Amino acid sequence: MSDQTFHETKRLYSFLTRDYQSREEDNSNMCDTTIPPVSISDGASTSLYNDAYNEFNTNTFTITPDLPHSTESCQELFKEVILSWNDLTYEVDTTVKKTLETRTILNQISGQVKSGETIAIIGSSGAGKTTLLNALSGRIVGGRLSGKVLFCGSPRHPDCFKHATAYVQQDDLMHPLLTVQETLSYAAKLRLPNSQYSANNKINRVSAILQQLRLVGVRNTHIGNTKTRGVSGGERKRVSIGAELLTDPRLLFLDEPTSGLDSNSSQLVVELVKNIARERGIAVLMTIHQPSARIFNTFDKVILLSQGHLVYFGPTSTAIQYFSNIGYQCPVHENPADYFVDLMTLDYRNEHTLTESKNRVSVLVYNYMRYAAKRMYEGQLDTGQHTPNNTCASDVSDMTDLIPPTPHTQTWNCWMYEYKTLISRDWVNIMRNTPYLVSQAMQSLFTGLIVGFMFYYLKHDPISVQNRMGILYTIALNATFPIIMPALQAFYEERDIMLRERSSAVYRVTTFYISKVTTFMPISLACGVIFTTSVYFISRLTLTASKFFTALSVFSCLNVVSISFMLMIGSAIGTMDVAFVVAPAIVIIELLFGGLIANPTTITAALGWIRWINPVYYAYAALVKNEFDSQVFECTPGAQCYTTGEQVIEVNGMGRFSILQDSLFLLLIAAVFNTIAYALLRWRAMPRYIMI
Ligand SMILES: Nc1ncnc2c1ncn2[C@@H]1O[C@H](COP(=O)(O)OP(=O)(O)OP(=O)(O)O)[C@@H](O)[C@H]1O
């Protein structure tokens, strides 16, 4: 079918599917043939178009309408419409051969989902399934989205919509070291408002979800990931779904919930979701790539998409009949889903197959437009424009005793409760991360012993001056790379979970940020104490209580700066790969200008200022002052060497500030880094979704 035919078909469809009232007003125009039949040299398609046009005018459609006849179907009519969408179109700008082109990803998609209904969005890869799901769930970023989406009959309010709906992402981002029960319990603590749920209520809800999703047998098994063995893929998916169901959403979106699962697990996931949706009156919309025949038949309705166009939207039970009516009879032993997807897929093997498949898709799209227009004309296809009585305010508590009287008015729990829950979750996670803890402790002890014995038993001769400076610089260095890099990796994993949880407004950014600071700092400080103590005692740096504890305090300040720096990099940079290049590059500059490699007083003015913003310089200067203050060195008379520690401090350009001032500068830098990190994290967690 040519582009022109398609365009004309769309015009007709737009006209036919327009709001009933306005169409009534336009009917006279229709009789006056305002939209004339097109004449395009595209045989089959043109003829179909003209047939449809004439059919519409004479009202002699041949497609049998699938009116509900059974009792169950009649009940359908009384279900409330949770979400309806009309003429949903999504366009993005793409650059093709240096020219900017507009690409239409979704093309005038209309439909609706009712309470208790499970609808699958099916199509080949690139058909626009995820885009449609994102558009309906209010998670589209960038591009232009137009059309109308109504939630319970009203335009969506971002906050209310977020709290009343749930989205299960394709990747199950969860803490791998928590058990299934802990994962759900923490989700319940964070997501359910204390004003409506007591601690016991929350425990009961978790138990109910475990039972409903058949997770009781694995309740004490760790979630796991690619590195640690845990529950199976299907169980992990059910945990993800369970965490979302805890809040009793009115509408549940699932992006490819069966991807990566075997057919039995997929079947179980879909069936459980459908049963829970029915029981609780939740409307479910999910994308699915190529479901098995059994799974396909589980869905109440299907949305078949091809190249961003609607090919069929209606009951699963009538899909085969529909396709048969338009000339595509599904073979008896073939999986209908496979058959439909094959029909809707463009065949790129050669030019001939491509043209053929394009024509077929155009015909399918066109036929659906015709079918939809007729159904709408007869008042059977509700695109959700007429839902005046839908307020979604109906109390669904009679469906299950688990649902509280007002399930959708989530309010934030108090700051302290949220913080305590997050910190407790973090500590459980970190304490179970034995490889991380052991490697951090061993690294500190091992390098501490190596450095200590390298400079074993320092004397007070001129050579010991250089060794002392080397050892102090190593202490400063140890508070940079070994602290920043492992923490950065751990932070990225946490950050991704936070961004997912924040997209459902589970907790505040502040509580997340402070909980991270209070988790990472103690561990790095403990490692710092192990390292500094080993070095001090073995190498015999000046061993007085005051000098030792001062060195420990300076080291701790630099640790705090390093953790703040790590948080800033982790918040600023989108991906861990880039962060792992940027962070070391900056730390190397800090070390270069730290005061040992080049005397800071001799560095050119153009670069000399770097030391004033360099935490390593302040830490090293403080450690040098602490060690060399009041020291006397044995210097052979007539030889050129230091006789006092003060000379060392002065000559090496470390005497500008006192130890206290250096420490305060370190804390100031940490405060600046934390402020930037928090602002960036907030910005990153800010929703940029287009919601219509
Ligand atoms: N923001 C965007 N900019 C450019 N192209 C986009 C954008 N969003 C989606 N697309 C394109 O739109 C098409 C549909 O994407 P979508 O992810 O919805 O497909 P899908 O049906 O979910 O495919 P799959 O099953 O492979 O995930 C793809 O070709 C994709 O590249």
pLDDT grade for 79, boundaries at 50, 70 and 90: low
Residue 549 located in a structural domain: yes
Q: What is the pLDDT of residue 296?
A: 92
Closest C-alpha residue for ligand 1 atom 4: 92
Instruction: Please indicate, yes or no, if residue 392 is contained in any of the structural domains.
Output: no
Tens digit of each residue's pLDDT (9 = 90 or more) over 35-62? 333 222 333 344 444 454 454 444 433 4
Structural contact between residues 634 and 521, judged by C-beta atoms closer than 8 angstroms:
no
Rounded to two decimals, the pTM is: 0.78
Report CA dihedral (97, 100, 101, 103) to the nearest 10 degrees.
100
Q: How far is the CA of 109 from the centre of ligand 1 (A)?
A: 15
Stretch (H or E) spanning 690: strand 689-690
Does an H or E element contain 310, and which?
strand 309-315
Is residue 66, in this structure, part of any structural domain at all? no
Residue 307 Cα to ligand 1 midpoint, Å, equals 10
What distance in Å separates the CA atoms of residue 500 and residue 513, rounded to the nearest whole number? Answer: 15
Measure 126 CA to ligand 1 centroid, in angstroms: 5
Split into its structural domains, the chain has a count of: 1
State the DSSP code for 173.
-
Ligand 1 mean position, distance from CA 124 (Å): 11
How many Å is the Cα radius of gyration of the chain?
33
DSSP secondary structure letter of residue 632:
B
Buried b (16+ CB within 10 A) or exposed e, 541-561: bbeeeebbebbbbbbbbbbbb
Distance CA 517, CA 224 (A): 25
Q: Is 473 a member of any domain? A: yes
Q: What is the pLDDT of residues 228-258, one digit of tens each?
A: 788 888 899 999 999 998 888 889 999 999 8
Task: Return the sign of the alpha-carbon dihedral for residues 88, 303, 300, 370.
Answer: positive
Q: With 50 as the cut, is the pLDDT of residue 125 above it?
A: yes
d(CA 359, CA 7): 14
The candidate with the shortest Cα–Cα distance to 472, out of 486, 484, 461, 458, is 458
Q: What is the pLDDT of residues 570-603, one digit of tens each?
A: 999 999 999 999 999 999 999 999 998 888 888 8
State which of 125, 131, 307 you would mutate to test the pocket of ligand 1, scoring each by most atoms of that ligand within 8 A of its C-beta: 131
- Whether the pLDDT of residue 7 is over 90: the answer is no
> Which residue's CA is minimally distant from atom 17 of ligand 1?
130
Residue 129 Cβ contacting ligand 1 at under 6 Å: yes
Please indicate, yes or no, if residue 308 is contained in any of the structural domains.
Answer: no
The residue-averaged pLDDT of 449-467 equals 86
Which atom of ligand 1 lies at the shortest distance from residue 287's CA? 22
Q: Domain of residue 447: give its range.
A: 437-503+523-684
In a domain, 691, yes or no: no
Minimum CA distance residue for ligand 1 atom 10: 105
* DSSP H or E stretch at residue 92: strand 81-96
Q: What is the rounded distance in angstroms from the CA atom of residue 70 to the CA atom of residue 504? A: 38
Q: Is the CB of 341 under 6 A from ligand 1?
A: no
CB count within 10 Å of CB 580 equals: 16
pLDDT of 350 above 80? yes
Q: Is residue 467, in this structure, part of any structural domain at all?
A: yes
Coil vs helix vs strand at 282: coil
Q: Could you tell me whether strands 251-254 and 165-168 are parallel, antiparallel, or unpaired per DSSP bridges? A: parallel
Residue 132 CA, closest ligand 1 atom number: 18
* Number of C-beta neighbours around residue 451 at 10 A: 21
CA-CA distance, 278 to 115, in Å (whole number)?
8
Closest atom of ligand 1 relative to the 289 alpha carbon? 25
Evaluate whether residue 555 is within a structural domain: yes
For 518-558, the pLDDT digits (tens) are 988 998 889 889 999 999 889 888 888 999 999 999 999 99
Contact 462, 546 (CB under 8 A): no
What is the structure's pLDDT at 1?
A: 47
